Amino acid sequence: MRAVIIGGGIAGLSAAYALNNRARQAGLPLRITLIERQDRLGGVIQTEQLDGFVVEGGPDSFVSTKPWAVELCQELGIAERVQGANAQRRVYVLRKGQLIAIPKGLTMMVPTHAGEIVRSPLISPIGKLRLGLELVVPRRRDTGDESVRSFVSRRLGEEAYERLIEPLMSGIYGGDGDRLSLQATMPIWHEWEQRYGSLTRAAWANRAPSNGSGSIFLTLMDGLGELVQALVKAMEGVEVRRNVAVAEILSGPSGFTLTTDDGETFSAQVVILAAPAYAAARMLSLTDPELAQELSAIEYSSSATVSLAFRREDVKHPLDGHGYLIPRHEHRAALACTWTSEKFPHRAPKGSALLRVFFGQGQGPSTWGEDEDKLRMAARDELDATLGLRAEPLFARVFHWPQALPQYTLGHLQRVGAIDRRLVTHPGLLLAGAAYDGVGIPDCIHSGQRAAEAAMNQFGRTGLSLRLE
């Protein structure tokens, strides 16, 4: 029996690792092949070590509020390598060229500390008054989907959305709040409105006690690449094939036939597609055009990051925080800037500073799609304009991520439901990855684990489910 996993990102690796372990525990003679079209594994997780600096090309951390990444690190024996972000540092928002600290006391991005809001210059007096009126805004009777912008503006006011919520959300999804689905991206807000009638009351009721220490943002000492390396090392017996692209997947009575771009064919009883939704759609276009159409309807955005290293003495700004977010109405080319060496001090040698500038699709000029020299210059311009940093960097490392971040636009849950219904007609065909139920690293890990569990159910003839609820 054979299972093929297409996609060597964190979801595909997690699926291969979990399926390999489950098959061994069950005494199932299963051949597992993982196929990756690139020459490296990890997907958007890409870590480099440069002159004592730890440089992340993609995500730099994962959250502890979802347990699957932490649990996987424990299982792989690398839990002692997990480090939290500097919890005492603040995050800023750019407002008319000035950096203003985000008010403390946010619960799920909803302000709960009245004093912080009153004192903050981020929101105008009129905006603060509108924010306070959230307690008396009636709940929406229509329980259908709503855009993030519409929901937040309706409850908290347009100013709170533009200056606070939109920058925070764009740091997660990098998308357009006018099109992002509330129920797919922040279902807790919808639940809070329906249950409490007010986000403010809900946030007060659900505040976690603060002990003044720790951080929800975790990473590994040598970067997230450590997690990828540990997974690959633990997948003993799994066949890994790099630089191989699958052109099509055909469904038959005994399973699936896969054909690569080079014309090679092989069969499998189970296929776990951990590739982007648009790539999965291309592979399945002949097997199930309706399924392919639903998959291709999931949109993606592109991004780029530029990491720059400096001598600390050349950086006159105090860098007293994790970095800053840039609202769309500031009309900057960049999306955000992380002060990496302050957020994670172990990622830069003493006496140095490591900064990372983010560019996202739709955040002004499409600098993320330009050549590396133009992106470096755009990053330098941003640091000059905001931090007054004109020094020559020790190095600047550029990472491009074309069509890497799925967008949960309005109707996303309905699309995923339609995909589920089509998958029922193809027993043994499973999906995993960021395109469906969550874009974070823990979500992707969990999606791979659920796909592995469903694959075992298929081999055991005990039923198949895309997601084990």
Q: Does a structural domain hold residue 216? A: no
| Domain finish residue from 407, 424, 444 | 407
In a domain, 220, yes or no: no
In the prediction, which pLDDT does 242 show?
97
Kindly state whether residues 358 and 445 are assigned to the same domain: no
User: Do the Cβ atoms of 360 and 367 come closer than 8 Å?
Assistant: no
Return the pLDDT at 462.
Answer: 36
Tell me, yes or no, whether 304 and 449 share the same domain: no
Buried b or exposed e, range 294-325, using 16+ CB within 10 angstroms:
bbbbbbbbbbbbbbbbbeeeebeeebebbbbb
Residues 414 and 328 reside in one and the same domain: no
Least Cα distance to 92 among 265, 298, 278, 343 occurs for 343
Give residue 255's domain range. Answer: 2-43+226-298+408-459
Q: Do residue 425 and residue 386 come from a single domain?
A: no
CATH (domain of 175): 1.10.3110.10
Same domain membership, residue 425 and residue 289: yes
| Digit-coded pLDDT (tens) for 120-174 | 999 999 999 999 999 999 999 887 899 999 999 999 999 999 999 999 888 788 7
H or E element that contains 220 = strand 217-220
The reply to whether 119 and 237 lie within a common domain is no
Instruction: Say if residue 79 is in the same domain as residue 109.
Output: no
Rounded to two decimals, what is the model's pTM?
A: 0.93
Give, for 360, the enclosing helix (H) or strand (E): strand 352-360
The residue among 445, 448, 442, 437 whose CA lies nearest residue 413 is 437
Whether residue 139 sits in one domain with residue 286: no
CATH assignment at residue 374: 3.90.660.20
| Nearest CA among 178, 177, 180, 198 for reference residue 189 | 198
What angle do the packed helices 225-234 and 68-76 form, to 10 degrees?
A: 50
Supply the pLDDT for residue 466. 38
Instruction: Give the model's pLDDT for residue 362.
Output: 52
C-alpha distances out from residue 36 to 41, 64, 428, Å: 7, 28, 20
Domain assignment of residue 464, yes or no:
no
The neighbour count for residue 33, using CB atoms within 10 Å, is 18
- In angstroms, rounded to a whole number, what is the distance separating the alpha carbons of residues 429 and 28? 19
Q: Would strands 239-241 and 31-35 be described as parallel, antiparallel, or unpaired?
A: parallel
Residue 209: DSSP 8-state: P
Give dist(CA 308, CA 250) in Å, integer: 46
Q: What is the pLDDT of residue 210?
A: 53
In a domain, 469, yes or no: no
| Shared domain check, 39 and 26 | yes
Phi-psi region of 89 (alpha: psi -120 to 50; beta: other; left: phi over 0): beta
Distance CA 251, CA 97 (A): 56
Q: Are residues 325 and 337 in the same domain?
A: yes
Q: Looking at the domain assignment, is residue 269 inside a domain?
A: yes
CA 179 – CA 193 distance, rounded (Å): 20
184 & 156 share domain:
yes
Q: Is 164 domain-assigned?
A: yes
Domain assignment of residue 289, yes or no: yes
How far apart, in whole angstroms, are the C-alpha atoms of residue 421 and residue 288? 12
From the list 7, 6, 9, 33, the residue with the least C-alpha distance to 20 is: 33
Q: Is residue 467 domain-resident?
A: no
- Which CATH number belongs to the domain containing residue 276 in this structure? 3.50.50.60
pLDDT tens-place string over residues 317-348: 999 999 999 999 898 989 999 999 999 999 99
- Which residue ranges of the chain lie beneath pLDDT 50? 211-213, 363-365, 462-469
Number of domains in the chain: 3
Domain edge (last residue) among 138, 173, 205: 205
Assess whether 455 and 331 both reside in one domain.
no
Which of 390, 407, 424 is the endpoint of a domain?
A: 407
